[in-house]
Structure 1
């Protein structure tokens, strides 16, 4: 290319890619916002799967009978069409299943509600019309509705990338918008992925991006920003989690070259340990005194930290998109390339590894010591760790692809899958339950 032309085009290319755009983050302290944080008492029976990765945000299903075999016909209770496209995983509140989705033409970002008993649509709410980022600002695998909803039993919470900002929205359980608030600007490299996490009366959102990343907590009732802290100028995609580790509540997130702990009530940083990678997608999982994380790009590492962020063990193996799942003293993951690992959670020693096949984006769940995980071809592998060896129970085909992770409620499993019909892809929500006597 002509050197003069290249020099002329370079600023334009940088601008179009977002590299030249920076949005300094205005930090807000909890003292300045004056938002009062209160405990929220919810009926846990009403919220069997209220958020990304379930009741504890870790993929662990409360003990209950759960099927291990299914097909397009076998053990299907109902299936229903889902408009548009999204990687938002289902959540289950009382007897209703909720999803986020996005329709390309005309541009709409929506929240959907389905009857849990029949799969029939209960309502559809248009959260945004128009405002999608350009095609070059979203990864070809991503959608405009990647994040999973969260619910406190009174309101549903979600956030979309729209009009170059992250906009948080609360809806009541009948689909009415309660409030909507821009929580910060966003310069997209590959799109927006994180799901919100609840802490007492706060809803916490992550928005790591190359224009100026941040974590922000919003009052669930009013939508007022309680606190916001800057995270630097790095694009990363992990959802935060809140867990009690080492006897205190910690807001934990991987990405930006570290695993970092914050006080969820104030946003104050407690510690940050360099590890994992610049960009991560998976959500941190924890035990009572340990923290586990994996990632990412361009580095690769799975690591175990103490409650204070000290590195206990580390291996040069990663899962980029799928999250880890912890089952007692065993740590499981299926990486993006379809290799399943089981580590001793105390030492990091490999107990076994097994190639399942296919590529993976969805995250695993574990129920009754059995692990479930879907690949991008719509196959769900069901396996267990028996006497420290891998034991495949079943491989179950449903649809033609699966990007979203499953939800479980009252022995039913809910899967969002893609179905190819000629040259056009559709999405379905499917309810599964064992029909064996």
Structure 2
């Protein structure tokens, strides 16, 4: 997956490090992430499945199994990115109008650095649940990449592991509707991003080394929120996008459309998953919708229903789909025919996505309650229920039997975000 190639494209870029008239992109360093890392959104395999060779706790509290906790400056829903001995988060402070990246020591939780990427340019528009730092950082082992909306445009920025800003590329103008939360995807020599919006957005790929644009696809003028996801399906690796009333398969190295059909809904949030034969689409506006679509070029819709998985992404294991609806119902379906196998009531409203660790699924609601249930098609089996903080929107990260959680605590009219490391000593 992480093989390299030589580009023979004439390209332009808005970059801090390279002149715009340079014709040959700089060769990026090889991707250097470990199996014990969680280097980007939805984990190493981009599907919400953690390394199964770990055993994170089933029970915890504010005092039990907390190895360390660190305050997070500002506000954001960026999930923890873990690479090497570092943890990265994006955040924003509306008081001084800054958007920044934070780095913490993985072992101790000590903050190592803070790099301000933008000052000023924050919009007051957006859903009350959105923030100015909802994208999750991606790390290739030598640099970190982050998306921000600032001053009416979408930008991707690259920083060194010690926090030095080295390039920044404008992707497209951006009109905020609900907000923005699309996270960068790393693929071979590229970092790939999306920025669908009412003004007409784009999907774009940049050279990881210098931010120079390699390819770019214009998108319809509709709001939409998924991150670009690269998965192997129908015998090839495809960049998959849902929403804008479309389902699209793209060759990630070139930007060539492999296939595209009308489908999904106008606005989607979830990141698609696959069993290798079909991909799952789900949306929540203007209607609730879920479907299994063949990604072999035919675009055939195998089955569909009207369930609402608008924000939390789904999981697939052994041809079984596991999901949590926005209103707190865990459900299991057969991916081949869409048959419901079981459902179980959890509680609360969910924006965070479930994560599969071995045969356990961990998912956290907006009130900070984490439910753990068995990944089994036979029946719904609740294994644990834990409470931490008063608000959680970010998806937890699982590495080396430890759970890294971004949690908000509110009290006495004040709100403070914390980064928790949960595990056994």
TM above 0.5: yes
Structure 1 residue 316 and structure 2 residue 314: aligned? no
Structure 1 residue 420 and structure 2 residue 414: aligned? no
| Offset, 1:290 | 2.1
**How do 1:357-376 and structure 2 match up within 5 A?**
357-376=347-366
Distance 1:274 1:35, change over 3 A: farther
Q: Is the 8 A contact 2:402 2:423 kept in 1?
A: yes
- Partners of 2:180 and 2:377 in 1: how far apart? 41
Distance 1:346 1:30, change over 3 A: farther
* Structure 1 gap ranges (5+): 1-28
Distance 1:79 1:169, change over 3 A: same
Q: Is the 8 A contact 2:402 2:422 kept in 1?
A: yes
Q: Is the 8 A contact 1:30 1:226 kept in 2?
A: no
Match of 2:104 among 89, 110, 114: 114
| Offset, 1:44 | 3.6
- Partners of 2:210 and 2:49 in 1: how far apart? 31
- Partners of 1:374 and 1:358 in 2: how far apart? 9
Q: Is the 8 A contact 1:37 1:265 kept in 2?
A: no
* Structure 2 gap ranges (5+): 1-6, 12-22
- Partners of 1:252 and 1:181 in 2: how far apart? 22
Structure in which a larger fraction of residues adopt helix? 1
Structure 1 residue 403 and structure 2 residue 393: aligned? yes
Q: Is the 8 A contact 1:401 1:418 kept in 2?
A: yes
Structure 1 residue 378 and structure 2 residue 368: aligned? yes
| SS of equivalent residue, structure 1 residue 390 | coil
| Offset, 1:307 | 2.5
Structure 1 residue 219 and structure 2 residue 196: aligned? no
Match of 1:42 among 31, 56, 61: 31
Match of 2:132 in 1: 144
- Partners of 2:171 and 2:195 in 1: how far apart? 9
| Offset, 1:167 | 1.2
The Cα offsets for residues 229-279 of structure 1, whole Å up to 9 and x where unpaired, read as 111100001111011211212110111012211111111211122222100
- Partners of 1:373 and 1:62 in 2: how far apart? 16
Match of 2:40 among 11, 34, 51: 51
Q: Is the 8 A contact 2:207 2:213 kept in 1?
A: yes
Structure 1 residue 65 and structure 2 residue 55: aligned? yes
Q: Is the 8 A contact 1:418 1:427 kept in 2?
A: yes
- Partners of 1:35 and 1:302 in 2: how far apart? 43
- Partners of 1:30 and 1:414 in 2: how far apart? 41
- Partners of 2:27 and 2:259 in 1: how far apart? 25
Q: Is the 8 A contact 2:49 2:356 kept in 1?
A: yes
Range moving further from structure 2, 203-212 or 181-190: 181-190
| SS of equivalent residue, structure 1 residue 205 | strand
Match of 2:270 among 282, 285, 288: 282
Structure 1 residue 91 and structure 2 residue 81: aligned? yes
| SS of equivalent residue, structure 2 residue 382 | strand
Match of 1:249 in 2: 237
**How do 1:346-361 and structure 2 match up within 5 A?**
346-361=336-351
Match of 1:172 among 151, 160, 166: 160
| Offset, 1:345 | 1.5
Range moving further from structure 2, 198-207 or 32-41: 32-41
Matched residues, number: 405
| Offset, 1:38 | 7.2
TM-score normalised over the length of structure 2: 0.92
Range moving further from structure 2, 44-53 or 351-360: 44-53
Match of 2:170 in 1: 182
Distance 1:233 1:386, change over 3 A: closer
Structure 1 residue 336 and structure 2 residue 326: aligned? yes
The Cα offsets for residues 152-207 of structure 1, whole Å up to 9 and x where unpaired, read as 11110011000100111000100001111212111111221100111111111100
The Cα offsets for residues 397-424 of structure 1, whole Å up to 9 and x where unpaired, read as 0111110001111111100011012111
- Partners of 1:303 and 1:220 in 2: how far apart? 34
Q: Is the 8 A contact 1:158 1:195 kept in 2?
A: yes
- Partners of 2:29 and 2:374 in 1: how far apart? 36
The Cα offsets for residues 9-41 of structure 1, whole Å up to 9 and x where unpaired, read as xxxxxxxxxxxxxxxxxxxx9955266697964
- Partners of 1:345 and 1:39 in 2: how far apart? 38
| Offset, 1:288 | 2.2
Match of 1:124 in 2: 114
- Partners of 1:164 and 1:365 in 2: how far apart? 33
Match of 2:15 in 1: none
Q: Is the 8 A contact 1:201 1:220 kept in 2?
A: yes
Q: Is the 8 A contact 1:276 1:296 kept in 2?
A: no
Q: Is the 8 A contact 2:32 2:142 kept in 1?
A: no
